């Protein structure tokens, strides 16, 4: 017998798949709250990082593209796979003048251990109170949802990814970056 939870999960996955196939772009709401508007300034933030540099602000990266990805928890299978893929593709991001920034509610110490264990070279930011995740519509009570945002060199939000699939997400982000960078040149 199939549980009610399984049926709901299957229906939700089917709806998301259908919407993704229709090139659906969210306009206002995500599961985690109100999304910032595309083609508007991305919400500014300052958060502590595991890199030993103290705090990192979005404005630190003016002049670069930013891939800002939110994820639920260090050391979990999907989050580890997603981070590994971003790290594996980091030379491709560097070629495109892109800074990857990961954000979760884990603290700086957890991020440092996670980066050490997985060989991650990009900053992970500690949003322990969820304020930045809330500003990006990516907060579910005590964890960040798996959402990604592409921000252009002027600080304008250019793309939102919901329903992220960790195994292929970095490839999808790179493809969209290529499209956006061609349009902006």
DSSP letters, 35-94, are PPPTTSBPPP-EEEBTTSS-EEEGGGGTTSEEEEEE-S-TTSHHHHHHHHHHHHTHHHHH
Give the C-alpha separation, 80 to 82, whole Å: 5
Residues 6+ apart with CB under 8 A from 107: 126, 128
**Which one is catalytic: 58, 67, 79, 150?**
79
Our answer to whether residue 15 is catalytic in this structure is no
Give the C-alpha separation, 155 to 44, whole Å: 9
Give the C-alpha separation, 8 to 108, whole Å: 35
Give catalytic residue positions: 79
């Amino acid at each position: 017998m199939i549980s009610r939870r399984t049926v709901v999960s299957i229906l939700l996955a089917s709806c998301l798949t259908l919407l993704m196939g229709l090139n659906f772009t969210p306009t206002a709401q995500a599961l985690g709250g109100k999304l910032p508007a595309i083609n508007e300034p991305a919400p500014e933030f300052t958060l502590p990082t595991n890199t030993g540099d103290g705090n990192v602000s979005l404005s630190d990266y003016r002049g670069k593209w930013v891939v800002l990805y939110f994820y639920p928890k260090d050391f979990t299978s999907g989050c580890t796979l997603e981070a590994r893929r971003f790290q594996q593709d980091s030379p491709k991001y560097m070629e495109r003048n892109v800074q990857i920034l990961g954000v979760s509610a884990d603290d700086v110490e957890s991020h440092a251990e996670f980066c050490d264990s997985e060989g991650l070279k990009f900053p992970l930011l500690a949003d322990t109170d969820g304020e930045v995740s809330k500003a990006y519509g990516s907060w579910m009570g005590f964890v960040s949802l798996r959402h990604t945002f592409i921000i252009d060199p002027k600080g304008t939000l250019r793309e939102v990814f919901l329903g992220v699939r960790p195994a292929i997400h970095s490839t999808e982000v790179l493809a969209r970056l290529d499209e956006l960078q061609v349009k902006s040149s």
